[in-house]
Structure 1
Amino acid sequence: MFESHHLRKPTGKSAFSGLGAGEPGNSVQESYVFPMVLGDMKGTTNSLTHTAAAMMPSSIFIWRFQVTLFLVWGFSCCKIGWDSVMRMNSDLRDLFLYEAFLYYNPLLLVTMMVWLWGVCLWVFSQSTISYVKIFDIDQNHLTHREIWKCSTWLTIIVPTSMTAYLYLYSHGEVSLAASQPVILYIAFALVLVFPFDIFYLSSRYFFLKTLWRIAFPLQPISFPDFFLADILTSMAKVFSDLERSACRMLHNQVATIAWFEADSICGSHSVAIPLVLVIPYIWRLMQCLRQYKDTKEKTTLFNALKYSTAVPVIFLSALKYHVLPDRWTYVYHPLWLISSFVNSLYSFYWDVTRDWDLSVFTRIFKFNKPSWWSDLLYGQNWVYYWVIGSNLILRCTWTYKLSAHLRHNYLTVFTITTLEMLRRFQWIFFRVENEWNKISKSSIQLPMTDMPNEDEKLVDLSDHTV
């Protein structure tokens, strides 16, 4: 049996928990005097408490102040960054922006995904679907508010570093500009592996351990394991950009265009790019094979086949940089189009029939406290028509993004990757609901008395046994 600690919030003991009657040395006289003193102090304490509460600003005012400060800071970063870009030589501007997006694109996308995950957990907490049962969690887990707090800090730190990078480079401080992304990546890596009980240690520990379980599926696969692995397949571009960013940092090619002119070490021809792109799909493929070994269900083999169809799409595209143009145009490009078509349709079919099971429309988005927007979604057929249609289009778009044709068109790639994140965002709701339907049909529901306060809880796998 394998037990682990998951996303548990740090707990503390009250400093005054040892005070009170019954302590050794408390005399009878003290038992009379102590309540009298407390009675005298109670009125003073209450008045001080009310006075302090009256002097403190309201939570609504603090929230509005934070939002205003957040917007002002974001606008200032955009203004400084734009002015810095306009100062550059027009011939070098596009090349420099491409490099800047290469370094900061992964962290921007991760920040966006953290925001969306917080939204998912908030919706789950408001709905009648018990994600507590689905993810096998206890009451000691993070709230969606804490997830949003982390994403807020990410939204401040990452654009600030990117603005400093643009500003310093445009003012001739090349060495300082080159240090900005390096410092940022090192800081994030250190925070992630920091061994002390700050910055949600158990959550970071669980995340790293889950990644280890995904990379090396040496144990039975749990729902959170392949759930996170599926999300990682939508972040293949993040893995690719991280690899190329690390390559440039190690070869001192930050804040310079020499790497682009030479294209010899970390350029678009690098064989590491398709290898890194295919890693999330190989992880998911191995999970499916592990599930077949444990369950002998043939469905898992068909699921493994789905992930294997992404392999030719990635490697056929990479051949553009290793074969003659005519051979690419008349041989490998048609093969790439066929493999892309097969992968897109197979993935779309699996989403609809297996991950979502929309053969019979289910009533998703039913909320404990209905509102106008929950009524707009709950039980409406247009929701399913929208999710099916958009999923088909974005599946095809995502496959095209994996091609080599768009590696230097950073705005197009960033837009398509963002759309893929949104596709995965809506996929999460239907996937979780389908899992809840399976649990409900098996009559393994949590008693209502055992349900934690969903409005204050976030997904955690505390005390999860595999």
Structure 2
Amino acid sequence: MDGEDILASSAFIPLPFRALGLVGLGLLCWATNLHILHLLGIDTASVLETRPEKLPLLVPSSPHPDSSHDSLSSSHRAAGPLYPAIYRLLCFYAAWVAATYIIFKMAINGDMKMMDRSRSIVTIASVGVLVGLFCPFNVIQKRERDIFLVALRRCLFPSSSKPVYFCDVILADIFTSFAKVLGDIWVSINMLMPGGSLLMAAVDLHGWSEWMVPVLISLPFVIRFRQCIAEYSGSGYTNTRPLFNAIKYASSFPVIFLSAMQKIVVADIKATKGAEEALHTTWHGEHRIFRLWLLFLVISSVYSFWWDVTNDWGLDLLRRKSDPLVALPSTNVTLNAPHRPQHPSPSYFHLQPNHPYGLRTPLLFGYPILYYAAIILNLVLRFTWSMKLSPHLHTFAELEAGVFMVEACELLRRWLWVFFRVEWEATKKGMVVQVGLGVEMVGGQREPLMIREESLLR
């Protein structure tokens, strides 16, 4: 790809619009997650622990935060499925971003020299999204925006006296898939600042601003790491599952910051092989920093994949065969949600020995092939972290479009992950029961369920 092709790629969809587009894709993924799970019979509000009477949802605009921390006003209480409101919010968002993008394309009229003169349109598009998110008026799905902002505040500024709700866990996990997008947003801000340029495939950052990219990329992993430590301490330091989960998120930090140090590698390559070689080569196996980055990348990806399959999805594929089966109350499997919704479900559940190879029972999605396909896709996409978590790859303009595709694929991987993660949580809460070759949602009493002793680590 030559210089003109690079500029043409940036001119077609500038980085700020690509970041906005990925946010829209994330909204679409979440809406379809909720929609499909609802069609399958899962009460997502109960599983996610977002019932107003069970979960404090403080409205940010409330003048009495203490009194409103325990419940929403009647106007913010909604019955029925969650997904229609998310679809409506997505429509508002998509209409705004699409309209501003069309105006931007009309303004530049194919002339790349006009891009920087039209940066104000991109700025208006970005600021408009923030205004819509924080708008205090009862418009644009205020209830859903409030719920999101309150959950975000709990993630960023947690209270040591409050439990870690499952909805906060899901939100933080989704944000880890947006980690690279957060770095893109910072680069976009620099593009829109005075002296910046939308034509630049990579903004030349210096000083503290340069390190803001890896800091922002690592922020979602810091949040999940803290949540895991909070769960561990909340169990009286007896439940080791959150501790091992925290290790998974901590394994991302060396990948992120060793990637940020790749400029040292590039400088060395320039000194020994020339600038042209450094610009067009992404494999520097002879350099120690690069080898360390690659080592931690493999460790993080393999460990995260194992955790996804074994603990987040509850599948047996990568589990030791000798683990004994013990009876455990389903309400005690998840130790971080004392305000659990009360269901007419049984107190125990059973993982039957005759389940499909490497899987479990019950299987909400019915067909084992779906689970096998999800495992394979998760494995492949996990190893795209070389782009997803690596800010140094933005220094190679030829990979700009590829990085965008990898970020989109990561959001699709997370979309897939959410289905099986919520399914497993619903199973642990006794909301799904095996019936013949299929499943049904629990509405009465049934046999005690059993789980493997190792499931205490889940």
TM-score by length of 1: 0.67
1:264 to 1:212, Cα distance in 2 relative to 1, 3 A: closer
Rounded Cα–Cα distance in structure 2 between residues aligned with 1:441 and 1:129:
8
Match of 1:237?
180
Match of 1:290?
230
Rounded Cα–Cα distance in structure 1 between residues aligned with 2:100 and 2:122:
7
Rounded Cα–Cα distance in structure 2 between residues aligned with 1:417 and 1:156:
22
Question: Are 1:179 and 2:120 counterparts?
Answer: yes
1:225 to 168, 172, 175: 168
Deviations 1:167-210 (A, max 9, x none): 32335655651111100111111111111111222221221111
Match of 2:107?
168
Give the number of the structure whose alpha-carbon radius of gyration is greater: 1
Match of 2:145?
204
Match of 2:16?
103
Could you tell me how far 1:306 is from its partner in structure 2? 0.5
Tell me if the contact between 1:340 and 1:400 (Cα under 8 Å) persists in the aligned partners.
no
Deviations 1:260-309 (A, max 9, x none): 6x835599x92221111111111111111111111122111111110000
Rounded Cα–Cα distance in structure 1 between residues aligned with 2:141 and 2:291:
49
1:251-400 superposed matches below 5 A: 251-255=194-198, 257=200, 263-265=204-206, 270-295=210-235, 296=237, 297-323=239-265, 324-326=267-269, 329-359=286-316, 360-365=359-364, 378-400=365-387
Deviations 1:103-161 (A, max 9, x none): 11111111111112121111121113332321232671564233223223333332332
Tell me if the contact between 1:217 and 1:286 (Cα under 8 Å) persists in the aligned partners.
no
Tell me if the contact between 2:432 and 2:441 (Cα under 8 Å) persists in the aligned partners.
no
Tell me if the contact between 1:288 and 1:301 (Cα under 8 Å) persists in the aligned partners.
yes
1:362 to 1:424, Cα distance in 2 relative to 1, 3 A: farther
Tell me if the contact between 1:129 and 1:436 (Cα under 8 Å) persists in the aligned partners.
yes
> What letter matches 1:161 in structure 2?
T
Rounded Cα–Cα distance in structure 1 between residues aligned with 2:35 and 2:432:
26
Query: What secondary structure sits across from 1:270 in the alignment?
Result: helix
Which structure has more relative contact order (CA 8 Å, sep 6+)? It is 1
Rounded Cα–Cα distance in structure 2 between residues aligned with 1:332 and 1:398:
17
Rounded Cα–Cα distance in structure 2 between residues aligned with 1:332 and 1:322:
8
TM-score by length of 2: 0.68
Question: Are 1:113 and 2:26 counterparts?
Answer: yes
Query: What secondary structure sits across from 2:102 in the alignment?
Result: helix
> What letter matches 2:257 in structure 1?
F
Could you tell me how far 1:95 is from its partner in structure 2? 2.7
1:148 to 1:266, Cα distance in 2 relative to 1, 3 A: farther
Match of 1:426?
416
Match of 1:158?
97
Rounded Cα–Cα distance in structure 2 between residues aligned with 1:111 and 1:397:
21
1:175 to 1:131, Cα distance in 2 relative to 1, 3 A: closer
Deviations 1:81-102 (A, max 9, x none): xxxxxxxxx9545235337431
Q: How many residues align?
A: 344
Rounded Cα–Cα distance in structure 1 between residues aligned with 2:88 and 2:45:
21
Match of 1:79?
none
Tell me if the contact between 1:348 and 1:392 (Cα under 8 Å) persists in the aligned partners.
yes
Query: What secondary structure sits across from 1:227 in the alignment?
Result: helix
Quick check: which one's helix share is greater? 1
Match of 1:26?
none
Tell me if the contact between 2:116 and 2:199 (Cα under 8 Å) persists in the aligned partners.
no
Tell me if the contact between 1:274 and 1:315 (Cα under 8 Å) persists in the aligned partners.
yes
1:22-41 superposed matches below 5 A: none
1:206 to 1:389, Cα distance in 2 relative to 1, 3 A: same
The percentage of counterpart residues that share the same residue type is: 29
Could you tell me how far 1:247 is from its partner in structure 2? 2.2
Could you tell me how far 1:431 is from its partner in structure 2? 0.5
Rounded Cα–Cα distance in structure 1 between residues aligned with 2:401 and 2:199:
20
Rounded Cα–Cα distance in structure 1 between residues aligned with 2:178 and 2:19:
9
1:421 to 1:175, Cα distance in 2 relative to 1, 3 A: closer
1:199 to 1:442, Cα distance in 2 relative to 1, 3 A: closer
Unaligned runs of 5+ residues in structure 2 are 53-76, 273-283, 317-358, 434-439, 445-458
